Amino acid sequence: MKHKILIAGIILASIFTSCSDDYLDAPAESTLDESVIFSSPGLAEGAIDGIKIPFAETNSYRGRFLPFYGLNTDVEWYNSSQTVSDASDLCTYDAQKNNSQMNTTNNAWAMMYSGIERANICIRGLRTYGNPTAGSELGYLLGEALTLRAIYYADLIKAWGDVPARFEPVNNATLYIEKTSRDVIYKQLLADLGEAATLVPWPGETAATTSVERINKAFVKGFRARLAMVASGYQQYPDGVRRSSDPELSVPNMYALALAECRSVISSGSAHLETSFETFWRKYNQEYIVAGGESLWELPFSEGRGRMLFTFAVRHTTNDQFHANGANRGGTAGPLPFVFYDYDQADTRRDVTCVPYKYGTAVNNIAKQELGALNTWYFGKYRYEWMTRFVTSTNDDGVNKIYMRYAEVLLIAAEAANEIEGPSAAAPYLKEIRRRAFPAAVHADKVESYVDALTGKAEMFNALVEENKYEFTGEMERKQALIRWNLLKAKLDEAKVKMTNLSQHTGEYSDVPATLYFKYKSDNVSLDIYGLNRGEVVKPSADYTDFEWTWTGTATDTKINTLYKAGVNPDNRQFWPIWQVFIDGSNGKLVNDYNY
* The pLDDT value given to residue 88: 96
Cα–Cα nearest to 163, from 23, 321, 270, 264: 23
* Distance of alpha carbon 178 from alpha carbon 154, whole angstroms: 18
* The pLDDT value given to residue 546: 98
Query: Using one digit for the tens of pLDDT, what is the confidence trace for 102-154?
Result: 999 999 999 999 999 999 999 999 999 999 999 999 999 999 999 999 999 99
Averaged confidence pLDDT in the chain: 94
pLDDT tier at 554 (50, 70, 90 boundaries)? low
125: enclosing H helix or E strand: helix 108-129
Sign of the torsion angle spanned by Cα atoms 344, 346, 352, 357? positive
Beta strands in 224-283 (DSSP E): 235-237, 240-242
pLDDT tier at 552 (50, 70, 90 boundaries)? confident
As to burial, measured by CB atoms within 10 angstroms (0-12 exposed, 13-18 middle, 19+ buried), residue 121 is: buried
- Is pLDDT at 594 greater than 80 in this prediction? yes
- Is pLDDT at 19 greater than 80 in this prediction? no
* Distance of alpha carbon 23 from alpha carbon 26, whole angstroms: 8
Q: What is the DSSP string of 423-486?
A: HHHHHHHHHHHHHHHS-GGGHIIIIIIHHHT--SHHHHHHHHHHHHHHHHTTSS-HHHHHHHTT
* The pLDDT value given to residue 463: 98
Non-local (6+) Cβ contacts of 536 within 8 A are 513, 530
* The pLDDT value given to residue 229: 98
Query: Using one digit for the tens of pLDDT, what is the confidence trace for 233-250?
Result: 999 999 999 999 999 999
Cis bond upstream, residue 72 (ω within 30): yes
Least confident of 12-16, 44-48, 160-164, 207-211: 12-16
State pTM to two decimals: 0.95
pLDDT (mean) for 292-309: 95
583 SS3 class: helix
* Distance of alpha carbon 399 from alpha carbon 358, whole angstroms: 20
Q: Buried b / exposed e across 230-240, counting CB within 10 Å, b at 16+? A: bbbbbbbbeee
- Is pLDDT at 262 greater than 50 in this prediction? yes
* The pLDDT value given to residue 24: 37
- Is pLDDT at 556 greater than 80 in this prediction? no
* pLDDT over 70 percentage in the chain: 94
Contact 308, 66 (CB under 8 A): yes
pLDDT (mean) for 476-501: 97
SS3 labels along 355-401: ECEEECCCECCECCEEECECCECEECCCCHHHCCCCCCCCCCCCCCE
pLDDT (mean) for 201-225: 98
As to burial, measured by CB atoms within 10 angstroms (0-12 exposed, 13-18 middle, 19+ buried), residue 567 is: exposed
* Distance of alpha carbon 518 from alpha carbon 531, whole angstroms: 9
Contact 122, 48 (CB under 8 A): yes
- Is pLDDT at 25 greater than 90 in this prediction? no
As to burial, measured by CB atoms within 10 angstroms (0-12 exposed, 13-18 middle, 19+ buried), residue 324 is: middle
- Is pLDDT at 424 greater than 90 in this prediction? yes
- Is pLDDT at 450 greater than 60 in this prediction? yes
Helices (H), 180-244: 182-199, 217-232
pLDDT (mean) for 394-418: 97
581: enclosing H helix or E strand: helix 580-584
- Is pLDDT at 194 greater than 80 in this prediction? yes
